Amino acid sequence: MPLTLDSFKAKFPIPAVCKDGGEAFEYFWHYDLPVRPEQFWPFISDSSRMNREVGYEEVFYHEEKGTLYGYSGEGRFRQEWIEFPFEWNYPVYIRRLRKYSKGLPSYNFIQGYIEPTDTGCTVYIHNVVYSHEKLARRLLPGYLEPFGERYGATFRRAAEAIENTESVDSVYPPIPVKIGEEGERILEERLLRLRESGFSASEIKELRQFIVSGDCSDLHRIRPLALHHPLQDAHRRVAMFMHGVLAGLFTMNYEVICPHCRGNRESRASLAQVPPRSECHICEIEFQTGGKESLEITFRLHPSIAETRPRLFCAAEPSHKTHVRLQRMLSAGPQQFPANLSAGRYRFLLQKEQLPLAADFKRQETDVPGMNGQCKVENPFNKEALLMVEEPSQAVAALRPSMLFRMQEFRDLFAGEQLAADLQIDLGRQTIAFVDIVGSTRFYEERGDGPAFGEVKRHFEHLFRIVQKHRGAVIKTIGDGAMFCFPSPLNALKAGLESTSLFAAGEEGLHLAIRYTMHEGPCLAVNFNTGIDFFGRTVNLAAKLQNITGANQVCLSQDVHGNPDIQDFLRQRGIKPASEVLRHSTLLRSEPVYIFQGLAGRQFTE
C-alpha cells in the first residue's frame, strides 16, 4: 500500500524553517519500478542530469565563504537563492532545500524516497514550493503539475535501462561540445600530432569519438581513471592524455581537494603554483595540500578546439560524493535517527572536524523501510553542523601524484615540473628499486674515461628499456647507479630478475655486472636539485641493501618478499633465494632480507 502524503511527511518531515515561507504549493507523486533501490540510486542521485531530463532549466552557482549561491533565468524571470547542503542516505533518500532572495518562491524543498518492495521499489517525490506572492497561485500550479508525468516517464526509462544493463548515459544522454569549422581543423591537426607519438589509429579514433560526443561538463574536467574509454589500460590512458597536452589537445590541471568534503578548492596549471596549505570555507578547515588525497590531476579540452563549461541543472552533491553514504544536518547536542549502513568501518565527520567523531550505529528494525538501524551521535557545537558518514577507502577514480610521479611518460614529457620549495607530497606506499654497476671504478681505470663511459651508457640503455617494459620510471641517476619506482613489487621484481639475468648471461656484449635492490613503503615527494625526487626511510633502506648485495643479485626486503603476489610468482617459477641475511650492521633495521642470483642462461619472459 503506497504511503499517503501525511504518512510520508511523518517519516520525512519538512524543515521547520519553510513554514514561515508563505503559502505552500505541495506535490506528491509515487512510481512503482521493477528494480532494486541500489540499482535505481545512480539515476536519482545524479540529480543535475535528472533535472535536465525532466525539464528544469539550467542553473549557475558561485561560492562565497562557504555558502553556495545559485541563480537561474534572466530579467524579470531571474531567481536567486542560497542552496543548503544536500542530505541523503544511500540508497534510501535524498533531499534539497533552497532559500530564495529573488523570484516567486521563498523556499523550495524537494525530496525523494526509494522504498524497497517485494517486486522492486516504489519511488516517492515530494516537492513543496512556498511563496508570499499572490501571483504564485496563478503561475506555480501550472508550472509544477506536469513534472509528475515527466518524472514517471524518466524513471520508467531508467528501469528499462537497468533491466537491459545499459548505463546512466542511455537515459541522460550527454550534451556534446560545439566544435566549429576552425575547431575541427585544429582537432584533426592535433590528433595527427598525437598519432606521431606512437598511438595506434584505433586509439586515436576512440579518443576523437570521446571528444566530439562526450559531455560538455566531462570534457571541462576529464578524470582519465574514471573513463571506460578511450583505452581500457589505465596507464596507457593517462599517458595518452599527457601526450595530448603536448599535442595541444588538452590542458592539465592540478586541483587542490578538500580532504573532508573532497570538493575542488583551487586549480593550478603547474605544480610549482600549488601552495603548501589551503582552506575549505564549506567545511571550515585549513589543510595541507601534500596529503595523500589532497591533489588530483585532471585534464580539459583545449579551448582552441571548443569552449567547455559545467552544465548544471542542480548541485547534485550525492553524485559528486559517492564515498559518502550518509550526509545529514544535525542540530546541537545528542540525537538519534534511523539510517541505512552496511557492515564495515566508516568515518563519522562533522564540519570543522577532521578526526573521526564518536558515534554509534546499531542494526535494528525501524519504521522506515530501507533503514536497517539507528544512528546515535552528538553534535558538540552550539549550532547546526553537517554530519558525513563516509567509507574509508579513497577515491580510486582520482589520478593522484602517487601514480603520476612514477610514470616515465610524465618525467619525460614534463621534466620541467617542480614542486614549490616548501611543499612535500605524501605518496603513500611506493615500490622503490636501486641499481648500481659493480666494479665501475676499476672498469674506468682499465678502459679510460671515454670508452668506459660509453660502455656504461650502453648498459644503462638496456636497463632502462627493461624498467620501462615493466612500467617503472627512472627517478634519478646517481653516478653509475639509478633509482626507480614501480607500480607494484611484482613489476619491480620482474624488472630486477630480467635485467640481472641479461647481464649475468653476458648477452649483446653486456659484460658488466649490476646489483639490484628493492623495498616497499611510505614515501614523500620533494623537490631536489631540479626535479621531483622521492624521500624517506623506504628510499634509504632500498639504497642500504646495496651494501649486502653482490654481482647480478637481486635483494628483497622482508616487506617485499612477504607480498602475496611475490610469493605466488616465486613459487610458480620455482625461484628460491640464494641466501638470507638476518642481520647486518649497515641496515636501518634488523630483519631478514632475501637475495636472488641472476638467472644466467635462462630466458626471462612476462
pLDDT for 583 equals: 58
Instruction: Find the range with the poorest average confidence among 88-97, 135-144, 146-155, 456-465.
Output: 456-465
Q: What kind of architecture, by CATH, is found in domain 424-597?
A: 2-Layer Sandwich (3.30)
- What pLDDT is attached to residue 596? 87
**Burial readout 67-87 (b: 16 or more C-beta within 10 A, e: otherwise):** ebebbbeeeeeebebebbbbb
Whether residue 602 has pLDDT greater than 50:
no
User: At residue 352, does pLDDT exceed 50?
Assistant: yes
Please state, rounded to an integer, the average pLDDT across all residues of the chain. 88
Does residue 581 register a pLDDT over 90?
A: no
Given this model, what pLDDT does residue 600 score? 47
Average pLDDT over residues 461-485: 92
Rounded mean pLDDT, 475-500 = 92
Residues 6+ apart with CB under 8 A from 288: 276, 277, 294
Provide mean pLDDT across the span 126-153: 96
| Average pLDDT, integer, range 175-197 | 95
Q: CATH for 5-170?
A: 3.30.530.20
CA-wise closest residue to 521 among 498, 545, 547 = 545
Where residue 363 falls among pLDDT bands split at 50, 70, 90?
confident
- Model pLDDT, residue 260: 76
Q: If you ran DSSP here, which 8-state letter would residue 104 be given?
A: S
Give the closest residue to 43 by CA, choosing from 9, 117, 108, 94. 94
The predicted structure's pLDDT at residue 388: 83
What confidence tens digit (pLDDT) does each residue in 294-322 have?
Answer: 999 999 999 999 999 999 999 999 988 88
Has residue 504 got a pLDDT over 50? yes
Query: What pLDDT sits at residue 22?
Result: 95
97 touches 88 (CB < 8 A): no
Confidence tier at 258 by pLDDT (50, 70, 90): confident
CA atoms within 13 A on the CB side of 350: 17
pLDDT digits 0-9 by tens, 79-107: 999 999 999 999 999 999 999 999 999 99
Per-residue pLDDT averaged across 574-599, rounded? 71
d(CA 48, CA 59): 9
Whole-structure pTM value: 0.86
Q: Which of 525, 429, 418, 431 is nearest to 471 (CA)?
A: 431
- pLDDT-derived band of residue 468, with 50, 70 and 90 as boundaries? very high
Q: Which residue has the higher pLDDT, 131 or 478?
A: 131
Of residues 533 and 590, the one with the higher pLDDT is 533
User: Where does the pLDDT of residue 603 fall: very low under 50, low under 70, confident under 90, or very high at 90 and above?
Assistant: very low
20 band by pLDDT with thresholds 50, 70 and 90: very high
**Residue 579 has what pLDDT?**
75
Residue 233: per-residue pLDDT: 85
Q: What percent of the chain has pLDDT over 90?
A: 64
Mean pLDDT value across residues 198-211: 93
**CB-based contact 532:418 (threshold 8 Å):** yes
**Domain layout of the chain by residue ranges:** 5-170, 324-390, 424-597
Instruction: Tell me whether strands 295-301 and 250-257 are parallel, antiparallel or unpaired.
Output: antiparallel
pLDDT at 585 over 70: no
The SS3 call for residue 255 is strand
d(CA 312, CA 71): 11
